[in-house]
Amino acid sequence: MFHRPLLACLVTATIAVSPSAQAQMMKTPEAHAPAKAVPSSKGEVDLSFAPVVKRAAPSVVNVYASHVEQRGTSRSAMDEFMRRFFGEQGSGRGQGMPGERAQKSLGSGVIVDESGLVITNNHVIDNMNEVRISLSDRREFEASIVLRDPRTDLAVIKIKSPVGGLVPMPMGDSEALEVGDFVMAIGNPFGVGQTVTQGIVSALARTQVGSSDYQFFIQTDAAINPGNSGGALVDLKGRLVGINTAIYSQSGGSHGIGFAIPTSMVRAVVETAKGGATTVRRPWLGARVQNVTPDIAESMGLDHPTGVLVASLQPKSPAEEAGLKRGDLILTVDDKVVDDPEAFGYRFALKGISGTAKFGILRGTTRSTVSVKLASAPETRPRDAVKVRTRSPFFGATLVNTSPAVAEELQKDFASEGVAVSSIDEGSMAARAGLQIGDVIVAINGVPVTTTKDLERLTRSSSGMWEIAINRGGAVLTSVFGG
């Protein structure tokens, strides 16, 4: 079971010391101990990791996030509506219980710019409206949320007031990591305070973790626990090589299998925030790809499954314009091998939205290279977002007109134009009614829905019975509410 750390117990590491080093330490008085240097060879690693920690630790911060919500004293319209349709007692708000309801989150972050920019995990600050950070020297500051990127589970926050003495952590090259390299995890496990754990890179390019849309994680056995989320994975030169984000655990504690987002993806999010944008724009392919099975690999003359198979293309998309065809096998993206859809999505997402990317493909028995234009998905018609506040099963849902841009953001295939659910308030009527993000509303009470204006008009009705047809993943489902 995967856990995203929210709050890594302290561990005691035994460092091997050579006999000659032991003798030297016995001869040298503590007061005259020689200054330590950053290890420059594997042999010197036997001495200490302390110089690396001293360099990197001041860049790692604690992140405290909270969401404070005022409770009312009267039953809300949503509670009344839910009681009417489901016979329930409501959502727990507005039932004569005045005061505040607070949610809290604890995690870590890394200073990446002298201006006070801090990178952390999106799940640390998700749904939060108040954020504070604590530096390694215990100074605390309020912070604002600059950018959220749920698809990578990354977010950028910024210290509100000017602060001196900030130490940004230099970015390392996650692409240069090899299995077996030493790394350290620095964060705030369980809120006990800044803690350093050490291990190795256990694996690279892990894609079946399931904690974000772009999966291409660094796996490490350095202890990562709740609270390490958003903290630093550091190489032996004190450079950031990953942001710790998830653990594999059956108990919630560290079992030596932790995952970090590589800096190749972190860098793209940080640069977006530095440029003043609040949304990370990524290239649109306009094609759906699938895994290559052993049978498919054998039929194409491959000795093992590799690459991704083009399953479908959208008209006038970069994929179609590049000459890709259904059944093509994409083997590489700019000479980087891709072995599954997750690896392909990660490599393509890193390319930005200008220029071209070269795909190495196999069509039949012929290998070739095609150039794919890098551009963001077009918004072929205005979204005209509508958040439903009328008494209907859509209460608490936000709906938008579909387009390639919307499909890309929601990671859904929309076969035709319509109205899609883009977000749902937790505990709302829409959530209780079973609506899901990405659902396309086909009809309400037998009347076709093609735009959000259609839906807005139809939900103004005070009908006691609602028959809703939705397209979910290509299957049309019909549900009836009320009565």
Query: Within the chain, which residue ranges are assigned CATH 2.30.42.10?
Result: 287-373, 386-482
The third-level CATH classification (topology) of the domain covering 287-373 is Pdz3 Domain (2.30.42)
Q: What is the dihedral of CA 393, 397, 403, 406, to 10 degrees?
A: -140
Q: Which CATH architecture has domain 1-8+46-279?
A: Beta Barrel (2.40)
Q: Any known ligand binding at 105? A: no
Residues 217 and 260: beta-carbon distance below 8 Å: yes
The third-level CATH classification (topology) of the domain covering 386-482 is Pdz3 Domain (2.30.42)
Pick the catalytic residue from 79, 108, 123, 254: 123
Q: What is the pLDDT of residues 391-440, one digit of tens each?
A: 889 999 999 999 888 888 887 776 667 899 999 998 898 998 899 999 99
Pick the catalytic residue from 3, 105, 108, 153: 153
Q: Any known ligand binding at 153? A: yes
Pick the catalytic residue from 108, 229, 249, 392: 229
Q: Is the pLDDT of residue 347 over 70?
A: yes
Q: Is the pLDDT of residue 372 over 90?
A: yes
Q: Any known ligand binding at 229? A: yes
Tell me what pLDDT residue 401 has.
93
Q: Is the pLDDT of residue 188 over 60?
A: yes
Q: Any known ligand binding at 123? A: yes
Q: What is the pLDDT of residues 112-137, one digit of tens each?
A: 999 999 999 999 988 887 899 999 88
The yes-or-no answer on residue 153 being catalytic is yes
Q: Any known ligand binding at 483? A: no
What distance separates the 2 farthest-apart alpha carbons in the chain?
A: 90
The yes-or-no answer on residue 304 being catalytic is no
Q: Is the pLDDT of residue 256 over 90?
A: no
Q: Which residues of 234-273 are buried (b: 16+ CB within 10 A; e: fewer)?
A: bbbebbbbbbbbbbbbeeebbeebbbbbbbbbbbbbbebb
Backbone angles phi, psi at 3, to 5 degrees: -125, 135
Q: Is the pLDDT of residue 187 over 50?
A: yes
Tell me what pLDDT residue 84 has.
41
pTM higher than 0.85, yes or no? no
Query: Within the chain, which residue ranges are assigned CATH 2.40.10.120?
Result: 1-8+46-279
Q: Rounded mean pLDDT of 156-166? A: 89
Q: What is the pLDDT of residues 20-57, one digit of tens each?
A: 444 444 444 445 555 656 667 766 656 688 899 999 99
Question: Could you write out the DSSP letters of every residue in 388-404?
Answer: --SSSTTTTEEEEE--H
Give the residue carrying structure tokens 């030596």.
Answer: 256
Cα 34 versus chain centre, distance? 44
Tell me what pLDDT residue 299 has.
86
